[in-house]
Amino acid sequence: MIRVTSNFDSGSIDVIDASDAANIRLKLRPDNASDFAQWFHFRLSGARDVDCSLKIENAGQSAYPDGWPDYQAVASYDRENWFRVETEYDGQTLTINHTPQTDVIWFAYFEPYSWERHQTLIGNAITASPWVKLEQLGVTPDGHDFDLLRIGVQKGYYGINKKKVWVTARQHPGESMAEWFVEGLLETLLDPQNPIARALLEKCVFYVVPNMNPDGSVRGNLRTNAKGANLNREWQTPTLERSPEVYWVREKMKQVGVDAFFDIHGDEAIPHNFVAGCESNESFSCRQHDLQEAFKKAWLAASPDFQVEHGYEVGKFGPETLTLGTNWVGNEFDCLAYTVEMPFKDTANRPLPEVGWNGERSTQFGSSMLSALYAIVEQI
């Protein structure tokens, strides 16, 4: 008997009818307290060696329908090794065609990053170095720990204050590549034999929030927290009732300061890695412009997976601009502030069709950002 289920960490799908393997009818499930729908993560069992056609019938009404053309879903037999599978989009229905080789297979919008793996990430970081401290900024509405990792000491040689570098990820919980990115960044930063990491920690203290939206991540939401808030539109006026996650981070930033900020995301439609800065801010300064240009040049030199030809148009967010994390931080602290975007699809400039853009490539990209930061650290 064929079964489609999603009652697990980050699981999300609605089943219309799974009685016919050639026409398994599914629907995207919206976030628990909003209308955003795009993330899916489910298990198919009982279909070994059966040609299956899984049809997500409301893909055309998803949050970002432009994300479906040229998109290939991901699948795994063991939840460790994920690969891309044949996927078609006709303007309304997203169809996944696959013949499972085992009794059970998992499908997802992107390679998931589980809450359990988040716990391992925190444990690995804390035990990697005595310079890593965990601060629990709060407990989310669903009862999850809200973790901040401080890496390094706040004063360097002769009592000189170090630069404060902030990295936040996964404000939008369905953008799981963001936490993979942070995993790679932390692995490199905490490698005691890595010369770039050692040099950066002599000059900087890092504040890293690996998962800004634990509730949404576990619930299988695309964009929002348990209260229905799109956290990356809450930075101007966050509240403890609706967006405590942003409120806690903002308060900590105001307490310790910010010299550089990187907010890690994923983009549904654009098949490239890119950054979006603070050009739309009225307060955007010549110093910020020079820092942005220097950082982009440094990252281009550090990673062939980075590019600057494709990205968002300046002014894309209009009156919402200062509600975004990057723009609020850049305006508040007059510092280098960038949103980092990675694709749900493959990268068009350097594709790997078997896996597309995935967790491993995201970790390597996260590691490479430290090389770019090192190149400009004296300027921030």
Residue 278: name the closest of 242, 239, 343, 324 by CA: 324
State the DSSP H helix or E strand holding residue 131, giving kind and residue range, or none if neither.
none
What integer pLDDT is reported at residue 135 of this predicted model? 98
Return d(Cα 60, Cα 47) in angstroms, integer.
27
**Averaged pLDDT for residues 49-53:** 98
Judgement on whether residues 234 and 370 belong to the same structural domain of the protein: yes
pLDDT at 23: 98
Domain end point (choices 79, 108, 137):
108
Is the pLDDT assigned to residue 158 strictly greater than 70? no
Residues 204 and 313 in one domain: yes
Whether residues 212 and 303 fall in one domain:
yes
Give me the residue label for tokens 């490698």. 191
CA torsion through residues 312, 317, 322, 325, sign = negative
Q: Give the residue from 73, 108, 143 where a domain finishes.
A: 108
What confidence tens digit (pLDDT) does each residue in 141-150 have?
999 999 999 9
What is the structure's pLDDT at 157?
A: 60
Q: Kindly indicate the confidence band of residue 177, based on its pLDDT and cuts at 50, 70 and 90.
A: very high
Q: Which of 108-112, 225-229, 314-318 has the lowest mean pLDDT?
A: 314-318
Return the H-helix or E-strand segment holding 137. Answer: strand 132-139
pLDDT of 374 over the 70 cut: yes
CA distance 89 to 78: 26
pLDDT of 279 > 70? The answer is yes
Please enumerate in sequence order all residues whose Cβ is within 8 A of that of 88, keeping only pairs 6 or more positions apart, or say none.
94, 95, 97
What's the CATH code of the domain at 95? 2.60.40.3120
Whether residues 103 and 124 share a domain: the answer is no
Mean pLDDT of 73-77: 99
What pTM does this model have? 0.98
Q: Is the pLDDT of residue 17 over 60?
A: yes
Q: In the predicted model, what is the mean pLDDT of residues 71-90?
A: 99
Residue 42: which pLDDT band, with cuts at 50, 70 and 90?
very high
Q: How many other C-beta atoms are found inside a 10 Å radius of the C-beta of residue 146?
A: 20
| pLDDT cut 90: percent of the chain above it | 97
The token duo for 30 is 């919206």
- Cα angle: 144, vertex 146, 148; to 5 degrees: 155
Residue pair 111/358 in contact (Cβ under 8 Å)? The answer is yes
User: Which whole number is the average pLDDT over 212-234?
Assistant: 99
State the residue for tokens 């930075």: 235
Based on the fold, state whether residues 136 and 263 are members of the same structural domain. yes
Active-site option among 111, 187, 245, 341: 341
- Distance in angstroms (rounded) separating the CA atoms of residues 289 and 75: 41
Tokens of 325: 């994390």
Boundary-marking domain end, from 85, 108, 131: 108
pLDDT digits (tens, 9 = 90+) for 124-144: 999 999 999 999 999 999 999
- Do 369 and 285 share a structural domain? yes
- Distance between CA atoms of residues 257 and 253, nearest Å: 5
Mean confidence (pLDDT) of the chain: 98
Asked if 62 and 93 touch (Cβ cutoff 8 Å), the reply is: no
Instruction: Give the pLDDT confidence score for residue 153 in this predicted structure.
Output: 82
116 included as an active-site residue = no
User: What's the domain range around 301?
Assistant: 115-376
Q: Are 281 and 334 in contact (CB under 8 A)?
A: no
Question: What's the pLDDT score for residue 376?
Answer: 99
Per-residue pLDDT, 1: 93
Average pLDDT over residues 194-204: 97
Which of 45, 23, 20 lies closest to 97, judged by CA? 23
41: exposed, middle or buried (C-beta count within 10 Å: 0-12, 13-18, 19+)? Answer: buried
Same domain, 102 and 246: no
Name the pairing type of β-strands 336-343 and 260-267: parallel
Q: What is the mean pLDDT of residues 20-38?
A: 99
Same domain, 101 and 128: no
- Please, is 85 exposed, middle or buried when counting C-beta atoms within 10 Å of its C-beta (0-12, 13-18, 19+)? middle
Structure confidence at residue 336 as a pLDDT band (50, 70, 90)? very high
Split into its structural domains, the chain has a count of 2
Are residues 250 and 309 located together in one domain of the fold?
yes
Q: Could you tell me if 76 and 126 lie in one domain?
A: no
Q: What is the mean pLDDT of residues 280-298?
A: 98
